[in-house]
Structure 1
Amino acid sequence: MLESYLYTIKIDNEYGYINNRGSFVIPPQYKSARDFSEGLAAVRTFDNKMGYINTRNEMVLELEAEYLGDFRCGLAIVIFAGKEGCIDKRGQFIVEPIYESIYDINPSGTVVVTLNQKQGLLDNSGETLLNPVYDTLGAFSNGLAPMRRAPGDKEGIINESGELIVEPRFNSIWPFSEGLAAASLDGENYGFINQWGEFVIEPKYYQVLPFSEGLAGFRLKTGGKWGYLNYLGEVAIKNKFQNVGQFHEGVAPVKDKDLAGYINTKGKYIIDKVFLTADEFKNGLGCVTYNYEWGYMDKQGRWIYKPDSFDLW
């Protein structure tokens, strides 16, 4: 998997792709480029042609679109003439571009859409599962999603059949992640609920992030620093960071004093905070910027692709 994955890189305002050894597989040549997903990557050329390339840099789909998204479950969100739809890998519309927005492609392949300012749910063939009657409908995870029936109503939880699982009583609920969803009763204090709508972590936090690899970022209004909670609501990593990301592959990007680095699940820096930005790890590497130049590192802090201006190690 790591051998075949390609990583997006930006050099002198041109985008290309490298492998996990830092060698160029597709030299920088694009005006914009997204990460590869399911074997394809959306790109824009300097003469403003848009489409999807494969790992051999062959344009397998060329589309006159305003936006091309990543593929997930065989579908990608696209925008044509201000309207959103979904295509398959042949470029055929599975969800016609008639929607004001498409919130997400869910892990099951279902799609949350907005039509006439109301949200509904389609299956992976574009057929309607839930009519667009909801004021808000969140992403589905394990068959459950937060929803609000009408403006001003409270939020509850439904399944993909539209059955009410948790009565609307929340000011807001986020999509589920690792079996828990961030939720607030008053819009100011957040905790985490289970699939039955019970708080398993009390709502006392000013801001939180979804759980990832057993940890969720949090911060209190007083002090304002970020840390991490575990599933029991215990502080697993002390709140001492300016900003934090989610854990992936055992590490998370954090920022302090406007400098970014990476920590492990014990809260210890494994890559020192010296970067302008640090993205979450993906397929064994983390993308960082130093003096606005892109680079990639592994979890041992070794450079796979080093910015020209970097001279600290």
Structure 2
Amino acid sequence: MRKERLALGFFLCTAVFFFLSVCDKRFLTPKFSKKAVEDSLTAYEKLFAGAPHRAYDKEGRGGYINKEGEWVIKAQYLAVKPFREGYAAVQDADTELWGYIDVHGKTVIKPKFMEAGSFINGSTAVKEPEGGFGIIDRRGKFIVEPIYRTISYFKEGFACAEDMETGEYWFLNEEGEKVFGPYKGAFLFHDGKALVKETEENRDWFYIDKKGKKYPFNEEVEIVMAKWYGDGEDDFWTENEYLDFSEGYPEYINDSCVAVNEKGEAISPEYKYLEPFDRDGYALAKIQKGEDEFYGIVDKQYNWVIEPEYSSLYKSDYGYVIAEKKEWEESGRVDYVVMDLKGNVVFTDWKEDEIVLNYDSDLSKGNPLPAYTKKNDVWKMGYIDWDHSILIPFKYDDAYAFAEDGSYAVVEKNGLYGVIDKKGNWILKPKFGGFSLYGIHDMD
């Protein structure tokens, strides 16, 4: 009987093992996508997701910290850039040349460049001390030789480079070979096409596809605005721009700013000025009335959601608009108001108040508002509520807007930077000579 029970137990264990080995493992081991994990993090935690965050010490040397504010990569560099694809560009304090480190602080590409970008899709642009710009891979080997005056990232298989001698532009393939050109002007490929021109005129643009075939573009359009490909850190070259007209993009036709489509046709009314649409689908627009100019906000159908009746207007990234009317300024009573995107006034700033809202900030719903006041003839900053009540005392030299989720704000005190929560408690005490507001580690 005992042998039978042992045999039965062995059989059941074998059956369970077999079941576990062949059934769909998705039901046994939960797997979370990178995006799902990132979405669960606070904005503060995202600063440190996958890599330490850059900061500077009291002496102005750059390094990288963890979320507790501890130096995990010693502050020893003249300048530091954010991690991208596991590498960060750092400027050596002795040679003043740029190289690359990994997330552990190990040098992976020795400092030997005058300029160095962040990695995107396994490559980046750099500048040789005695040469020009080229493109390297993650081993530091040149894919494109450093012989160009300026150069872009690779986008859709091509980089745009400016000839050192002629100033003309060429498209290079991923082997570094010239394939299309020369052009007097060129934007990066987007959705399989690139806008280029063969003359100096700013109205002679046309498209090419990835085989070099030409497509017409409205010759009346003057190109003045473009989108930036990258993280904005690498402003030492200017070729990382591209155009996306799929939803309309503002350019100029006959001195009027209009949204144009992929053919260069106007698809909006004429404005004195029009900004690109933000992530919420709204854009700032300016019109002319007599000798005066007025600002408002339009939606993607170019309907006014906030009428153009304001002499100045600032739109935050989080759904609020700070506006001022000329008559308010002249009356001396109201300085400006904060409105939502339906035109409802949610905050009024009175000129006689001792506390003034910092209207350059990106205001977000439910978060303390950065403001300033004068104490003993010295301006100090703190945070107020939407009803003007003081939430965090005025004791900072500078104070930035809270992240949209309210998880942190960067402040400056006695010349050093720290990080606080919504109650004014220190997340990181003020001990940094510089602290980046944003973390950019990887690019989708």
1:88-237 maps to which residues of 2 (within 5 A)?
88-102=137-151, 104-115=152-163, 116-131=166-181, 133-158=182-207, 159-162=209-212, 163-172=214-223, 174=226, 175-177=242-244, 179=246, 180-186=248-254, 188-206=255-273, 208=275, 210-215=276-281, 217-220=283-286, 229-235=298-304
Specify whether residues 32 and 181 from structure 1 end up closer, same or farther in structure 2 by C-alpha distance, changes over 3 A only.
same
**Identical columns (%):** 22
Q: In the alignment, residue 272 of structure 1 is paired with which amino acid?
A: L
Number of residue pairs aligned between Structure 1 and Structure 2 = 299
Q: Secondary structure at the match of 1:261?
A: coil
For 1:30, the equivalent position in structure 2 comes to 77
Q: Secondary structure at the match of 1:154?
A: coil
Which structure features the higher share of helix residues?
Answer: 2
Which structure features the higher share of strand residues?
Answer: 1
Query: Deviation string for 1:131-174 (max 9, x for gaps)?
Result: 2x211112332233332321125143413433225243311153
Specify whether residues 43 and 218 from structure 1 end up closer, same or farther in structure 2 by C-alpha distance, changes over 3 A only.
same
Specify whether residues 190 and 301 from structure 1 end up closer, same or farther in structure 2 by C-alpha distance, changes over 3 A only.
farther
CA distance in 2, matches of 1:195, 1:61: 41
Specify whether residues 271 and 296 from structure 1 end up closer, same or farther in structure 2 by C-alpha distance, changes over 3 A only.
same
Query: Deviation string for 1:89-132 (max 9, x for gaps)?
Result: 11111111111111x3254242111112111211223222312x
Q: In the alignment, residue 50 of structure 2 is paired with which amino acid?
A: S
For 1:15, the equivalent position in structure 2 comes to 62
Q: In the alignment, residue 194 of structure 2 is paired with which amino acid?
A: A
Deviation at 1:183, TM superposition (A): 1.3
CA contact (8 A) 2:417 2:431 kept: no
Specify whether residues 113 and 39 from structure 1 end up closer, same or farther in structure 2 by C-alpha distance, changes over 3 A only.
same
For 1:55, the equivalent position in structure 2 comes to 103
For 2:52, the equivalent position in structure 1 comes to 6
CA distance in 1, matches of 2:277, 2:410: 23
Q: Secondary structure at the match of 2:113?
A: coil
Q: Secondary structure at the match of 1:129?
A: strand
TM-score, length basis structure 2: 0.56
- Between structure 1 and structure 2, the one with the greater Rg is 2
Deviation at 1:78, TM superposition (A): 0.8
Q: Secondary structure at the match of 1:199?
A: coil
CA distance in 2, matches of 1:286, 1:221: 37
Over the aligned positions, Cα root-mean-square deviation in angstroms equals 4.1
Specify whether residues 150 and 49 from structure 1 end up closer, same or farther in structure 2 by C-alpha distance, changes over 3 A only.
closer
TM-score, length basis structure 1: 0.75
Deviation at 1:262, TM superposition (A): 1.8
CA distance in 1, matches of 2:307, 2:425: 27
